[in-house]
Structure 1
Amino acid sequence: MRRPLPRKPRGLPLRAVAPNAITALALCSGLTGIRFAISGNFEIAVLMIVIAAVLDGLDGRIARLLQGESRFGAELDSLADVISFGVSPALIMYLWSLKDLPRLGWLCSLVLAVFCALRLARFNAQIDETEQPHKSAGFLTGVPAPAGAGLAMLPLFFWVWTGEAVFRSPLLVAPWVALVAVLMISSIATYSWGSLKLRRHVRFEALAVVVLVGAAIISAPWHTVSLLAAAYFLSVPFSMRSYSRIKRLRAAPVPSAAGPVAPATTTDDP
């Protein structure tokens, strides 16, 4: 009796090509940011990272829309995020400011890139875990990679539209970059946009806010991006407090429907 021939592994389905192509474009955009930073054009370098963040937000949604999720796409997305939001911002900040502190500045850049990789490795390792308290409550664990890249480059944002040399000081930039790196691998709860649900009576107001933010980005991009990054950083304590409240509610005992149970009484034998 002839044995059946082993089935050849199936290739990447056609519906998964589009989201993976967008992920590849995000990777190209992040790497191009390094090229502009080397030439000293830091504004365009930051713009490349912002474009990579926009593309990173689109690839997952397009994959779900086309039902093109795949393990290959998840791994490619993580690798692209490490480069676009870890390696590229680290090199941009080093070439912009941290090179004036060769040893400490390079150390902070390394920490930002490596901690971003560790964060994404932890995320991939926890994908199949059923017990994820932060995710089940609608929160993320630590600062996500795109937001971490934006926070790390916040001094650069301020420097572009203010021209103040203090924002370029490595004595300010080095501890800030190190702090953002620690926030990326921390276990604190941060807000997740994917789990944000609006009430019916505020949907119109939310649409108006989105329009205002879009108009502000077009008219004053650096001011708006700076304020958005600063607002996200200031929201971290509130997200921690919100998760702590949810955690306390989960840990509180649920009252029985039959009411409190009276304690058992015992009688001594005469």
Structure 2
Amino acid sequence: MTKHESPESPETQPDAAAQPGVSPSLDMLVDEHEEEVSENGRTVRRQGVYLLPNLFTTGALFAGFYAVIAAMRGEFEAAAIAIFFAAVFDGLDGRIARLTNTSSKFGAEYDSLADMVSFGVAPALVMFSWALGDLGKFGWSAAFIYVACAALRLARFNTRIDTADKNYFTGLASPAAAAIIASTVWVCHDLGWVGGGLPLEISVLVALLTSAVGILMIANFPYYSFKGVDFRGRVPFVVIILVVLTFGLVTLDPPLILLLAFLAYAVSGPVLQLRRWRQRRRGTD
């Protein structure tokens, strides 16, 4: 061996990832995501995930997590607003995925898990930190009922996503349920019902409300999904006027108006189901 020769040729040198003290490459730490998609009637495998819709899903997840942190700090108004931000992000990710043709199985699963955090766990913990903690077992039982019903509702939705009527949800959607919880906390916070200033009767009432909203998520009541609304089509000019008036109405008292609006939506399911039952009875008579 001459002094110009290396002790080992490049072909015989050990791999850099196997050498001690050398960090492995990124693709060895995180596997690339692959999923099967249908293109022109053929099933092909594609790598990677779509960035744009998953950014909105991540935003919803972050807002839900922030709501929990804010509630732990006693910042209940910020926690309620964060849940509404999560609902906005959640509504955008699906529509953007459909508009840009970037829907995927990964996005659907990621969205469902983010929904469980933002609209299942977060509202229950915010409500528990604000009012239910002082009720003992009754309080945490009401919070658990809500969380469990949110999980059951999301699981049922995922299993029926290909066969369900696109115009209606079966059971109250979890973002709407979370909005009821968040707006309730927001309204009571504005009234000064926080901590020692919260009456026991209100705590019991919101515990019953939390459980009832949870039950509505798994009940077989139809709720209009608003998925049939065409945002790209033309509408009469009066529709824009109504939109402007709606925004003006909300600005008068945002928490109260939002609470009344989502409570009305929650009641619409049982009312619609009663109408269907009456129609069936008339058809059989």
TM-score bracket, normalised by the shorter chain, equals 0.7 to 0.9
In the TM superposition, residue 242 of structure 1 has moved relative to its aligned partner by 4.7
Number of aligned pairs? 236
Q: Distance in 2 between matches of 1:159 and 1:144?
A: 23
Structure 1, unmatched stretches of 5+, are: 1-7, 253-270
Do the aligned partners of 1:156 and 1:167 also contact (CA within 8 Å) in 2?
no
1:28 matched to 2:57? The reply is no
Aligned residue in 2 for 1:97: 131
**Which residue of 138, 141, 149 corresponds with 2:178?**
149
Match of 1:51 among 85, 92, 97: 85
Where does the alignment leave 5 or more consecutive residues of structure 2 unmatched?
A: 1-33, 35-44
- The offset of 1:244, in angstroms, is 4.2
**1:76 Cα deviation after fit:** 0.4
Alpha carbons of 1:211 and 1:245: their partners in 2 closer, same or farther (altered >3 Å)? farther
Tell me what 1:185 maps to: 218
- The structure where strand makes up a greater share of residues is 2
Q: Measure how far apart 1:102 and its partner are.
A: 2.0
Structure-2 separation of matches of 1:29 and 1:213 = 25
Q: CA RMSD in A?
A: 2.8
Specify the code of the residue in structure 1 equivalent to 2:255: W
% identity of equivalent residues: 37
How far residue 204 of structure 1 moved from its aligned partner, in angstroms, is: 3.1
In 1, distance between residues paired with 2:279 and 2:244?
Answer: 32
If each structure's helix is expressed as a fraction of its own residues, which one has the higher value?
Answer: 1
1:163 aligns with 2:197: no
2:257 corresponds to: 224
Which stretch of the first structure deviates more once superposed, 40-49 or 186-195? 186-195
Q: Does 1:42 align with 2:71?
A: no
Tell me the equivalent position of 1:124: 158
1:261 matched residue in structure 2:
none
1:175 corresponds to 2:202: no
1:213 to 246, 250, 271: 246
Give the AA of the match of 1:143.
L
* TM-score for the superposition, normalised by structure 1: 0.78
- Greater radius of gyration (CA): 2
Query: Cα deviations across residues 102-160 of structure 1 (Å, max 9, x unaligned)?
Result: 2111111111112111111111111233xx4xx16x32100001001112344323313
